Amino acid sequence: MAQPIGRHFLHVPGPTNVPDRVLRAMSAPTIDHRGPEFAALAAEVLAGLRPLFGTTGPVVVHPSSGTGAWEAALVNTLSPGDRVLAFETGHFAALWREMAEKLGLRVDFVPGDWRHGIDPEVVRERLAADPDGEIRAVCAVHNETSTGVTSRIAEVRRALDAVGHPALLLVDTISSLGSVDYRHDEWGVDVTIACSQKGLMLPPGLGFNAISAKALRATESARLPRSYWDWRPQLAANERGFFPSTPATNLLFGLREALALLDEEGLPAVFRRHLRHAAATRAAVRGWGLEVLCLDEREHSPALTAVLLPDGHDADEFRRVVLERCNTSLGAGLGKLAGRVFRIGHLGHLNDVGLAAALSGVQLGLAAAGVPFDERGITAALAELGEA
Ligand SMILES: *Cc1c(COP(=O)(O)O)cnc(C)c1O
């Protein structure tokens, strides 16, 4: 197959585009992970991660994808048979639930329509109906990457507080950290789960847990089997700038550079940029006469937009045409949204022109795939970008 000319436009909602500076940082020779140069690197990245999570507490780094960081959060804080409360916001919430059940937890899974986030009022009701505190953890996905819906975690926290419920709050920020405003300490989150390949602009391979003092105490009584994922040897080794087993050294070189990039732009500016790009994308979708999957104005994801295709048009065939015609990768519909939805990732290392290019690719693809649309979509997006 001939190589397509020009750059590839990667617009799946993770993995995201890796900036050249990060790629160059990772291309350095691997160093001794028990030597002084490594200890300095570890100390720097472990400290640099804290403001990103909005915490003054520890952040553990696992060589893993996000799924591993999910497992670490559960096995370090819970025991076999524990009840946890979770919410069917979409595909990733459903996968996390499946993992929890495989580990021997009992999941109260609140049904959802995959077009809304977590309803804080339902959280309050469910916890109020548990006066003995049998529910040990509330599991929430902050940004549901399969639907483009962002749940309001501060309000979920207020729901726990309103009934004085002692459950731990575990939050998946895998596709929101570094793209969407997030505050581990201020929102009273006990474990925040994240990974490298989405808002952090790195390749896949690093998983993160930010850990509250309450979650650390829970570790002492948690009885789910754990070895590799155990936080305690990690935290002990991290104190001295090391890891209990071989860390993903070159990804940590990249992480140091990615943290510097985020710091140079400033997190508030990073979050504003994502909000603008999300608004411009929705303007395009509505301009085309297509439907945004997310139904609540308060919950539109700053990181990605999921778009419904009209009946009779296959979203996977449309994505195939966009890739072939425009060298642009869009996200697939996942789980029960397969074939009905495509997703435009607009998180990570992206500027206005990059977004406009991706949206132009979508518009060219709509024409090429024979999907009916209004040509004013791209103009509406440019108008939105020009305003800010
Ligand atoms: C991508 C993603 C995951 C899974 O992460 P992997 O790195 O693929 O293991 C989990 N939750 C959310 C919200 C995600 O976006």
Atom index in ligand 1 nearest the CA of residue 70 equals: 10
What stretch of H or E contains 54?
none
67 Cβ closer than 6 Å to some ligand 1 atom:
yes
92 Cα to the center of ligand 1, angstroms: 7
State the angle between helix axes of 267-288 and 352-369 in degrees (0 to 180), rounded to the nearest 10.
20
What stretches in the chain show pLDDT beneath 50? none
Helices (H), 54-133: 66-75, 91-102, 120-128
The residue whose two tokens read 């940082």 is 25
Atom index in ligand 1 nearest the CA of residue 144 equals: 13
208 Cβ closer than 6 Å to some ligand 1 atom:
no
Residues of the chain with CATH 3.40.640.10: 20-263
173 Cα to the center of ligand 1, angstroms: 9
CA atoms of 303 and 141, how far apart (whole Å): 14
Q: Report pLDDT digits (tens) over 64-91.
A: 999 999 999 999 999 999 999 999 999 9
pLDDT the model gives residue 340: 98
Asked if residue 381 lies in contact with residue 359, where contact means CB atoms within 8 angstroms, the answer is: yes
**Which CATH number is associated with domain 20-263?**
3.40.640.10
pLDDT the model gives residue 3: 79
Residues of the chain with CATH 3.90.1150.10: 9-16+266-387
What stretch of H or E contains 297?
none
Going by C-beta distance under 8 Å and a sequence separation of 6 or more, which residues neighbour residue 374? 287, 288, 289
pLDDT the model gives residue 225: 98
Q: What is the CA radius of gyration of the chain?
A: 21
Q: Quick one: 6 exposed, middle or buried, by C-beta within 10 A (0-12, 13-18, 19+)?
A: exposed
CA atoms of 214 and 137, how far apart (whole Å): 12
207 Cβ closer than 6 Å to some ligand 1 atom:
no
Which architecture does CATH list for 9-16+266-387? Answer: Alpha-Beta Complex (3.90)
CA atoms within 13 A on the CB side of 275: 12
195 Cβ closer than 6 Å to some ligand 1 atom:
yes
197 Cα to the center of ligand 1, angstroms: 9
pLDDT the model gives residue 221: 97
The residue whose two tokens read 């570790």 is 219
**Strand residue runs (E) in 95-166:** 106-110, 135-141, 143-144, 149-150
- In sequence order, what are the beta bridge partners of 110? 87
CA atoms of 240 and 39, how far apart (whole Å): 7
